[in-house]
Structure 1
Amino acid sequence: MANKMKVAVVGAGGRMGKEVVKLVLGDEELELVAAVGKSDAGADAGTLVGLPACGIRVTSDLEMALVEYRPDVMVDFTTPQFAYSNTALAIKHGVRPIIGTTGFTPEQIEELDKQCAEQNIGGLIAPNFSIGAILMMKFAAQAAKYLPHVEIIETHGDQKLDAPSGTSIKTAEMIAQNREEIRQGNPKEEEVIEGARGGYYNGFRIHSVRLPGVFAQQEVIFGGYGQSLKIRHDSYERAAYMPGVKMAMEKVMSYTGLVYGFDHFID
């Protein structure tokens, strides 16, 4: 197929990176031109993810891959330690970054947005690529206009490094846009055990649960007089994020500047 979108995957040997490699290799509209990973350098990207060999060898040199193979987009599911520099490097070489790593500061996002604008390209940083999770966020933001008393409970596996999750923080930001800050609960309440009421954000609470055997869940609970509303999303495997990653690749081609949040791509 002519005019395939050329894709570089950074963190190709990671759990999410492997899913992205599978997505690209199995999609007729996409072409894997580079796979980047330090621990898997030299391995065939296809066999690395349990597919037939594809002829693309994993490299540890991101800049070389960007310069030599000239991808249209770079998909990065690495760690906050590397994601900022990877994103800046991609933008420098005119490659549109699609970043699934959380932990960027507002100042970093602003700087990367400026760099994208200077290069006249688009980019995306998304705490969550699940279409269902994005709909949950949008529904929660809408509900907050009418039921401002709210709490968020997010549950992930016990190996997740950040708490609260990027998804819950993004949800809280969207909710906060539609409600005044209200300090909820009894004004005289006292935490008998520190942290029992969760993390404080704009007057409401975010609770993080970390347990083995859990993948990803989030529930947004609204309370009103004589009623409650619960909006919940569950992800059962990483493949659930891939339709969103594919949509992000398509959408980012028509944007200029860095977009924070996959919700901007869903009307």
Structure 2
Amino acid sequence: MKTTKVLVAGFTGAMGKKVLNLINQMPGFEVGAVYSPTAPSQNPTDYALAENVPVFTALDEIHQNATIWVDFSVPEAATENVAFALAHGMFPVVGTTGMSEAAQHQLITQAAQLHRGGIIAPNFGLSAVLLMKFAAIAAQYFPDAEIVEMHHADKQDAPSGTALATAQAIAAARNQKTNTQSENLAARGTLCNGVPVHAVRLPGYVAHEQVLFGAPGEALTIRQDSFDRESFMAGVRIALQKVTALDHMVVGLENLL
């Protein structure tokens, strides 16, 4: 069986460690290299890296011929990382959230020019993907909605990429927009695609989201909870198995389900 080599960017983070463990357990896949500007100079034993796996701290140092680039880094670095991966013939699997729409468009355009597939996923949790689908269905009948997303205290971007994607799905599915809030919502959160989004950052949380729909005399709440980052690995596994069959960049795990 041919082995698919994977380069993991952002391997020192919580999600990066989970991805390393996942790849080590997947038949036909192996960690070919890892990358992080803040990586230690030697392979640390607590990252479950084989002794021969190179650790890179700069993009121009990378010489590993990996097939897939997995990126769980930070928004400021992810765009350059993924552009590098595409330019060097790798299929990107991007879980880094907080990239701007302009940055995503840039990567989609680059991938199209290179006829190279990849995926940018705001969330790899299957429950979160289903929540977005259910919310889009509900928005056809309950156009008035608000989103509350709750994440761990160390999450840098707010609102989360999942909340922004949910708001976009709701906006696209609405038959008519009845929300009348102004852009300056103050305590009402931030208006995203016409949907108020409230971001909570507290210790003890991992990743949670609820969408509240209201109509005269009734309400509907859709909620998902990710209690452990291990829950995201089912989606990452699917992405690793299917990304090399793509010939363009897709946004959202639902495109691979």
TM-score by length of 2: 0.92
Q: What is the aligned residue count?
A: 255
Shift of 1:52: 7.3
Q: Distance in 1 between matches of 2:158 and 2:75?
A: 14
Q: Distance in 2 between matches of 1:53 and 1:116?
A: 31
Q: Distance in 2 between matches of 1:81 and 1:157?
A: 19
Specify the alignment match of 1:215 in structure 2: 206
- Does the 8 Å CA contact 2:123/2:162 hold for their aligned counterparts? yes
User: Which protein has the larger Cα radius of gyration, Structure 1 or Structure 2?
Assistant: 1
Specify the alignment match of 1:183 in structure 2: 179
Specify the alignment match of 1:37 in structure 2: 36
Question: Cα RMSD (Å) of the superposition?
Answer: 2.0
- Uncovered stretches (5+) of structure 1, i.e. residues with no partner: none
Shift of 1:257: 1.8
Q: Distance in 2 between matches of 1:202 and 1:33?
A: 40
Query: What does the per-residue CA deviation read over 1:233-265, in whole Å, with 9 as the maximum and x for residues that have no partner?
Result: 001111111110111122221112211222222
Select which of 215, 220, 227 maps to 1:229.
Answer: 220
Query: What does the per-residue CA deviation read over 1:38-82, in whole Å, with 9 as the maximum and x for residues that have no partner?
Result: 33333336x232x474531422133443xx321111001111111
Q: Distance in 1 between matches of 2:193 and 2:25?
A: 43
Q: Give yes or no for the alignment of 1:120 onto 2:115.
A: yes
Specify the alignment match of 1:146 in structure 2: 141
Q: Distance in 1 between matches of 2:156 and 2:50?
A: 33
Percent identity (aligned): 38
- Does the 8 Å CA contact 1:182/1:204 hold for their aligned counterparts? no
Specify the alignment match of 2:53 in structure 1: 56
- Does the 8 Å CA contact 1:13/1:48 hold for their aligned counterparts? no
Q: Distance in 2 between matches of 1:160 and 1:36?
A: 20
Specify the alignment match of 2:255 in structure 1: 264
Q: Residue 39 of structure 1: SS of its match in structure 2?
A: coil
Which region of structure 1 is more displaced relative to structure 2, 104-113 or 168-177? 104-113
- Does the 8 Å CA contact 2:43/2:49 hold for their aligned counterparts? no
Matched residue type, 1:3: K
Q: Distance in 2 between matches of 1:115 and 1:203?
A: 29
Q: Give yes or no for the alignment of 1:82 onto 2:98.
A: no
- Does the 8 Å CA contact 1:11/1:76 hold for their aligned counterparts? yes
Q: Residue 229 of structure 1: SS of its match in structure 2?
A: strand
Shift of 1:106: 2.3
Query: What does the per-residue CA deviation read over 1:203-242, in whole Å, with 9 as the maximum and x for residues that have no partner?
Result: 3311111212211110011112322111110011111111
Q: Distance in 2 between matches of 1:166 and 1:41?
A: 29
Q: Distance in 2 between matches of 1:202 and 1:37?
A: 34
